[in-house]
Amino acid sequence: MKADLLLLDGHRVLAVADTKYKLLGDSGSLPNPDAYQLITYCLRFGIRTGRLIYADTESAPVSRHVIRGADVALEVERIDLTTALLQIEAQVQGVHDRALDGLAAEVAQSSR
């Protein structure tokens, strides 16, 4: 299994994300296979927060799912592919920025 997106520092994995080219749906409930796949990546790389990025037809706030017993959280993002290219690029930049902010927060918390 290979994750779709990895943020690396040399050979060290700092962040992991998986992209899904399917609609998440109005309920926003996370499909079990998608969650299990990302949990596996997080545990494999020792990452505490992973991201699932869905291609969708609307944007929605980021949802966070804490996985009890695994010390892992999954953050779900949606990118609305029905918008103009510049808006899609801005959404992708937002995902990137939030991932870096989350990484910085984790590093700060672990150094306390």
Dump pLDDT digits (tens) for 53-108: 998 887 777 888 888 888 899 999 999 999 999 999 999 999 989 888 888 777 67
Beta strands in 21-71 (DSSP E): 49-56, 63-67
Q: Which domain holds residue 77?
A: 5-110
The token duo for 75 is 């953050």
- Predicted confidence (pLDDT) per residue in 23-49, tens digit: 887 666 788 899 999 999 999 999 999
Rounded to two decimals, what is the model's pTM? 0.85
Count of the separate structural domains present in the chain: 1
Alpha carbon separation from 61 to 14, 32, 64, 78 (Å, rounded): 23, 20, 10, 8
